[in-house]
Chain A
Amino acid sequence: DGGITQSPKYLFRKEGQNVTLSCEQNLNHDAMYWYRQDPGQGLRLIYYSQIVNDFQKGDIAEGYSVSREKKESFPLTVTSAQKNPTAFYLCASSEGAGTEAFFGQGTRLTVV
């Protein structure tokens, strides 16, 4: 079955550590996105990519980094520079501008 997979589902991190969230899709989509969601809030765009080896900052990119070495994969690293990383992170992909984005199940990151 085609889809988008995020792992892990739950992640705990100590303060000062970097952590990488995985996002893989087998839908052959060009565009991929990372969002952050805080409790009771909307989705805020962190980074997005429309093609391999290229990506753009979203609205809240500070403290995060991404790579897009393969079409299928768009990992997100939450660095120690991110002051308040505890949140729900959602990855999405889409085929083109006029089509809906498909979402993964999300990763809930908690800093302990």
Chain B
Amino acid sequence: AQKITQTQPGMFVQEKEAVTLDCTYDTSDQSYGLFWYKQPSSGEMIFLIYQGSYDEQNATEGRYSLNFQKARKSANLVISASQLGDSAMYFCAMREGRPGGYNKLIFGAGTRLAVHP
């Protein structure tokens, strides 16, 4: 069965430093997608970055990069040059990509990131 694990309930980082948020996943499918979302205190879900299971390069979007290690089934999010506005909950998510199949989109428990000045 699909499963997403985020082992860090909370993380602290100094402004302008880099931080890594951990995510491991479990799936028996060869085709799947991995996502990271940010949820500020307002509750909205903001899409950050996507990595496909067949993508050979690690995904990058501005200050966000995804450290994809397929053999270890990990998809860690790296935020470079942290800003105060990065303080939020961060969720890792996975969707299997079976063509024509029922593809659940499931989320991990989240990591609360606090950026200190």
A binding-site residues for B, Cβ under 8 Å: 31, 33, 35, 40-45, 48, 50, 56, 58-59, 88, 90, 92, 94, 97-103, 105-106, 108
Contact = CB atoms under 8 A, between A and B. Distances in A.
* Nearest 3 interchain pairs by C-beta: A97-B97, A103-B45, A42-B109
A41 B98 contact: no
Given A98-B33, A106-B43, A48 B52 contact: no
Give the contact-size bracket for chain B: 20 to 34
Interface string B51-62: 010000000000
B105 A92 contact: yes
18 contacts: A31-B103, A35-B107, A40-B112, A42-B108, A43-B91, A43-B107, A50-B102, A56-B102, A59-B106, A90-B45, A92-B45, A97-B33, A97-B96, A97-B97, A98-B33, A98-B50, A98-B52, A100-B35
Interface of B: 6, 31, 33, 35, 43-45, 47, 50, 52, 91, 93, 95-99, 102-110, 112
B108 A48 contact: no
Contacts of B33: 97-98
A48 B105 contact: yes
